[in-house]
């Protein structure tokens, strides 16, 4: 059992390095669903944490226009996410590659959320 735990820890460490600002649990959840349901677009609910002072209205427009996200709301002082004052809640029909692209925005601190097979 210790060997499995060691392999898992190594995998998570490597996965975290490759995902950057995307939460590992979210990344694993999306990847798992993508592999099981290859012909289905996933519903991903994201909590995107931005640097303080970021223009959230501008970020909302960018997400809506470039990544086809909807239902964006503003949240101040997000609970459970350290060092995050300005957060957008977003729903997208998307994949892990797109979530990773969203995370490349220099104003993004971190991305957390959930993925499901739900549709609009």
pLDDT, tens digit (0-9, with 9 covering 90-100), for 4-15: 899 989 988 998
Angle, CA 56 vertex, CA 52 and CA 61 arms, to 5°: 155
pLDDT at 107 (0 to 100): 95
More confident site: 23 or 71: 23
Whether 76 has a pLDDT exceeding 70, the answer reads: no
CB under 8 Å to 11, separation ≥6 — which residues? Answer: none
pTM: 0.85
Domains of the chain: residue spans and CATH = 2-116 (3.30.70)
d(C-alpha 49, C-alpha 86), whole Å: 6
């Amino acid at each position: 059992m210790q060997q499995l735990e060691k392999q898992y820890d190594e995998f998570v460490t490597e996965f975290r390095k490759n995902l950057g600002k995307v939460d590992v649990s979210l990344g694993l959840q999306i990847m798992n669903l993508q592999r099981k349901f290859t012909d289905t677009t996933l519903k991903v609910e994201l909590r995107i944490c931005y640097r303080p002072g970021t223009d959230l209205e501008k970020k909302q427009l960018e997400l809506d226009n470039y990544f086809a996200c909807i239902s964006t709301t503003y949240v101040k002082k997000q609970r459970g996410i350290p060092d995050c004052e300005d957060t957008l809640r977003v729903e997208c029909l998307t994949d892990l590659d797109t979530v990773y692209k969203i995370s490349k925005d220099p104003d993004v601190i971190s991305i957390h959320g959930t993925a499901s097979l739900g549709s609009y």
